[in-house]
Structure 1
Amino acid sequence: MDKIIFATGNEGKMKEVRMILEDLGLPVLSLKDAGITADVEENGTTFEENAQIKAKAIMEMTGALVLADDSGLEVDALDKEPGIYSARYMGHDTSYHIKNQNIIDRLEGKVGEERSARFVCAIAAAFPDGRVLITRGTMEGQIGYEEKGENGFGYDPIFYLPEYQCYSAELSLEEKNKLSHRGKALRLMKERLHESFNCQ
């Protein structure tokens, strides 16, 4: 194995991924780096299923070790919406400013724990020999009353962390890597990959 492909074209995400996986000793390529333009349909019913569908599809195309993630926001008062539909919520082309405001509006009148929410990330690793590893990480918090912060993307500006008294979009990249759902799932995956490499 001479490389890892991480199935995303999101450069913000790749920055986070490379920081955490750098000591695996293999280059970590994005889909763009690997010259792949495939659009894999994620039709699973859970974050884990979607991550596995994407990882396996790209692994079959490339013959490389492929990692893929599926992540999203679960808001308890909204029956865990937007969940696996987080990226497609209210339509692919709808701005996150509009999506975020919609969630805030739907929680009107709710306070404190009634606004509980979490970011979830599942990561799948598909090996050329057919093995699949899956890890999951979460970041617990609440939906804020407004958008705040310039860092991060997506739902970060409305995700409030009571323990740290700040929004996810106010964290530095280093802080976010330590606390985030993706950071937790990636570190777990790194451990599993280390074990897997050592067993070969």
Structure 2
Amino acid sequence: MGSYRLVRRLYFRSSDTFDRSAFPWLRALDVQVQGAGSAGGGNGSGGSGGGGGAGGEYARSFITDLSLLPVLVPVTVGAGGIGDSTVGSGDGGASSFDDLVIAVGGYRLSSRQAGGLGGTGGVGDLLIRGGGGSGGSTGSPIGGAGGGSFLGTGGRGLQSSSTTTDGDPGGGYGGGGGGGRGDGAAIGGDGAPGIVIVELFA
């Protein structure tokens, strides 16, 4: 990137702090932030399919003015939504690098069969909305597929009439969970967690 030289890459898979003073040679940062996915819907008492959860948003910024950052930069990594027999435990968590780069998590389902809406509304030079989940069936045991993200894939949406199958979890980072399906009660798949990737340039 121009006259900058990549020296190190840091991966934050859980919330932590970036200590800028530990890198006195630092001149610029390339920050990638992925929001978490929401959970897929359950199928209640059976005979239907839950909707797919949504993918989290992706945000990226190249930061050259380091005076914008505190010495100790808070790094937040969003947790994926947890599936249950209804609409899951809420939105996928937002991930952020201070308040300069923010990626919103996938949104919770509005009903068991409705697909979730992809995360959007974050902050960054580049913003990519999370993929929406597909709807599940109200009259047959077909679960909706979870929405993908820039760094992850959605859980599969499949038909399962002979067996009761919980939804597949979201894959990678930020993928939405698949919907539960089958003749018996099934729970939705969990959303995949977020991640923050920081590249350090001299």
Using CA pairs under 8 Å that are at least 6 residues apart, name the structure with larger relative contact order, 1 or 2: 2
Q: Answer 1 or 2: which has greater helix percent.
A: 1
What is the TM-score when the length of structure 1 is the normalising length?
A: 0.30
